[in-house]
Amino acid sequence: MNDITKIQLPDAVLAAMSEGKHIIRAYREFLGYSVEELAVACGLSIEEIDNIEAGRRYDKGYRERIARSLSLPENTFSVDAA
């Protein structure tokens, strides 16, 4: 089970996700971060953030860095093995 079920996401983030937005983008926008600001905060490139928000898989370490930058538990964006 993904640990995302163990945290309480704001209603605005849940609503954005229900409209098809990736959880990272939904939470980033909820906090008012631009892609550029998040990239600086977590040390990734803008292209990497864009790709992750588009649903492309990246190293778990990238997702953990983004979560930390958004003040979320590191395993928030972990992807369960299919």
**Tens digit of pLDDT for each residue in 26-73?**
999 999 999 999 999 999 999 999 999 998 888 778 989 999 999 888
Structure confidence at residue 59 (pLDDT): 79
Q: Which fold has domain 9-69?
A: 434 Repressor (Amino-terminal Domain) (1.10.260)
pLDDT of residue 24: 93
Nearest-angstrom CA–CA distance, 62 and 66? 6
In terms of DSSP H, where are the helices of 32-79?
35-42, 46-53, 60-69
What pLDDT does 80 receive? 41
